[in-house]
Chain A
Amino acid sequence: MNIIVCVKQVIDPEAPPRSFKIDAGGTRAEMQGAPPVIDPYGEFAVEAALKVKEAAGNGKITALSLGTGLLREVVKKPLAMGADALILLEDAAFAGGDGWSTASALAAAIRKTGEYDLILCGREASDTNAGQTGPGIAAILGLPCVTLVRRIDVAGDTAKVERVTSAGYEVVEVPLPAVMTVSNEIGEPRYPTIKGIMAAKKIEPVVWKPADIGIEPSQVGASGRRLKMNRLFQPVHEGKCELASGETPEEVAANLAARLREAKIF
């Protein structure tokens, strides 16, 4: 069982919204004072990979990450959680990509790894909120794909998968190899153990440049984009909150109810 999990380094989406800033050039965003993290849905994908490997009793999990300025302590988190190997697509040429250039490079890297039964991505990255990298990889590699997965049971060369819907879930059967995008309903990602952290320290990531995966630098990152970003901005909220007052919580609550009634809110 060879499992590839795609994880991305992102600015911390759980940092308080007020620390979110866009630079003067209007292209880069940051969370002031908060270090970058592994994209949360990528972490759910790692958890899914570990569950599948445990159920199979064997297998190899390779984490794959594309980006620039990748902090080792961040991108090694999947290893600390229990993944076996780490491949980084790290080169200035990979910067500034869109769904197309990212999925193309990831697909080329996956092809180069040679053997894969399952390719897992997050349902959407916390920065792009796109949800297209997984389906994109599937389309490029000609593989079947199931999105929004909350449970994976592998039996031989097929998987029985539960897919989250707005009203419940679907049960889908898919032949392997296949691509799946993982949703949070898969279950809380496990914390790295001390043993895991020690093991991760000893694993050196493999670093590939565009040439290593057989792609021209002009086809990756910003040069490979098919979608142009014209503008990035923070919407302004004019809202003003009227706080109810009173001596005790009970009195404040009653005053709120009275105020809402007066404003004909209910």
Chain B
Amino acid sequence: MSESSGVAVYGEIADGKLLPIALEGLGIGRKLADSLGQEVAAVLAGSDVAGLAAGAFAGGADRVYVVDDPLLKDYQPDAYVSVMEKVIGQVKPRVLIMGQTDVGRDLAPRLAFRLGVPVTMDCVELAIDPASGRLLQTKPVYGGNAQAVFTSDADPQMVTIRTKAMTPLQPDNSRKGEVVKIAAGLDASTIRTKLVDRVIEDVAGIRIEDADVVVAGGRGIGGAEGFAQLEELARLLRGAVGASRPPCDNGWVPDTVQIGLTGKIIAPELYIAVAISGSSQHLSGCSGAKTIVAINKDPEANIFRQARFGVVGDWKKVLPAFTARVKELMAG
């Protein structure tokens, strides 16, 4: 149909490193490109980022486009949209993959509307339709109650991918390829929004994204004091404390520990959900856990449909006894 060819992956960078989502994008990008019999290109935009090309090759790219400019030091929508529009105009990929991250959520829809193509946000599955050669874009809708499969006739076929939904390749450091530099050509006067400050609200201990065990509480915990008890269990299991949205909205825990569709997507070995009803939006964030254990006083709670083990009961009675027994078992 068009002169477009190949799969382009936006290689998101933070603190001078290629993010895991970039490698997840390259992993699926490689698969799609192989089934199309075409190339994978990585796009790296930032300030002083040329050194990251090797990582993109190792992750599956055949070619790396680098846009290096001091104006790209921090993510700024007007600058990044303009640069990406230029890059896509030159690369002309058939498929463009970005991550469903702070940046991707902001950049992808704006770029799509600028390019005049649709974008499917937060895809959990991507495949090439053998009949049409077009990209089948599967994404959860209705908060995760359903999934929809979309296609677009226009190129690039744009998607963002959900964190941890796609598998990165085993890095292969022997892989090499061509690095192509593209000038940003930015006019600073077109940059309208200005980043004044970036505030990191660090949570002590292990980050929930990295923890093997997450003990999470919901609205039924009732207050910050209850979360102190979850903290005790989490410490014992060397895990982290997470929450559904209401405890964050109520200020019992920081917003940064929210798990779900609009919070963090995690995939720990063990997820203990205490007084969480199990809304589809919450489960979107934790259904990748290997084992879910639920404590809830309502036997009808939806969380029991996803949990592998459970207790029906008041967490105030169940949790202290559970923690005590876990401690004994771990000691002995």
Contacts and interface: CB of A to CB of B under 8 A. Distances in A.
B223 interface: no
Contact of B311 (A136, A183, A228, A252): A252
A250 B315 CA distance: 10
Contacts of B264: 166
Interface stretch (A47-55, A60-68, A77-85, A229-237): A229-237
B280 to A, nearest CB: 5
Nearest to B270: A265
B278 to A, nearest CB: 8
Contacts, number: 246
Interface centre among A17, A18, A165, A234 (most CB of B within 10 A): A17
Interface in A222-266: 226-235, 237, 239-244, 248-254, 256-261, 263, 265-266
B180 interface: no
B256 A226 contact: no
Contacts of A254: 321-322, 324-325
B277 to A, nearest CB: 8
B117 interface: yes
A249 B249 contact: no
Contacts of B329: 257-258, 261
B145 A253 contact: no
Interface stretch (B1-9, B103-111, B168-176, B181-189): B103-111
A243 B119 contact: no
B310 A243 contact: yes
A243 B312 contact: yes
Contacts of A165: 102, 198
A242 B149 CA distance: 33
B120 A227 contact: yes
Given A135-B106, A183-B262, A258-B329, A231 B196 contact: no
Contacts of A175: 192
A147 B106 contact: yes
B151 interface: yes
B152 interface: yes
B313 A249 contact: yes
A138 B200 CA distance: 28
Contacts of A249: 311, 313-314, 317-318, 321
Contacts of A17: 145, 278-280, 302, 305
A103 interface: yes
Contact of B262 (A123, A233, A235, A250): A123
A146 B309 contact: no
Interface residues of B, number: 86
Interface centre among B193, B197, B261 (most CB of A within 10 A): B193
Given A136-B109, A145-B110, A174-B192, A241 B311 contact: no
Contacts of A22: 146
Given A249-B321, A253-B318, A253-B325, A148 B148 contact: no
Contacts of B142: 11, 13, 20, 29, 126-127, 129
Contacts of A233: 146-148
A71 interface: no
A230 B149 contact: yes
Nearest to B146: A234
B59 interface: no
B319 interface: yes
A132 B121 contact: yes
A29 B145 contact: yes
Given A18-B302, A228-B151, A98 B118 contact: yes
Interface of B: 77-78, 101-102, 105-106, 108-110, 112-114, 117-122, 136, 139-143, 145-154, 192-202, 213, 237, 245, 249, 255-256, 261-262, 264, 269-270, 278-281, 291, 293-294, 302, 304-314, 317-322, 324-326, 329-330
16 contacts: A17-B305, A100-B118, A129-B121, A135-B106, A164-B255, A166-B256, A167-B202, A175-B192, A227-B120, A233-B148, A239-B307, A249-B318, A252-B318, A260-B326, A265-B309, A266-B270
Interface of A: 11, 13-14, 16-18, 20, 22, 29, 98-100, 103, 123-124, 126-132, 134-136, 138-140, 144-148, 160, 164-175, 183-185, 188, 226-235, 237, 239-244, 248-254, 256-261, 263, 265-266
Q: What 4 pairs across the A-B complex have the smallest Cβ distances?
A: A139-B113, A132-B109, A249-B317, A253-B321
